[in-house]
Amino acid sequence: MTKAEIVRLLIERSGLPKREAVQSVELFLECVKSGLQQEGKVSLVGFGTFLVKEKNSRNGRNPRTGESIQIPPKNVAVFRPGRAFRHAVNKASAAGKEKVGTPG
């Protein structure tokens, strides 16, 4: 699903004008980014938690030259789904397999 599809669903389900729906999605994403930058964690009860994790520096290899290089440490954003979210995804996945006839 893309951001445009999320906007379309928001319009269909809420009746918001397109401009307001786009602004709402953009504002939500900005709030998540800001929360991660400032606090390193954004928790949405019933959905999940966005976290910032630090990856340590490590040795790597340049694929073109084969030269050994040092990869610097960096922060990465990760998402941990909440229990309700995991169950909803598993139910949807199981229902999809049953419809197709694939053993579940």
Q: What is the reported pLDDT for 95?
A: 75
64: DSSP letter:
T
pTM over 0.75: no
pLDDT attached to residue 13: 96
**pLDDT value of residue 104:** 45
pLDDT digits (tens, 9 = 90+) for 80-101: 999 999 999 998 777 766 654 5
78: phi then psi, degrees, rounded to nearest 5: -130, 160
Q: What is the CA radius of gyration of the chain?
A: 20
Give the tens place of pLDDT for each residue, 14-61.
999 999 999 999 999 999 999 999 999 999 998 999 999 999 999 999
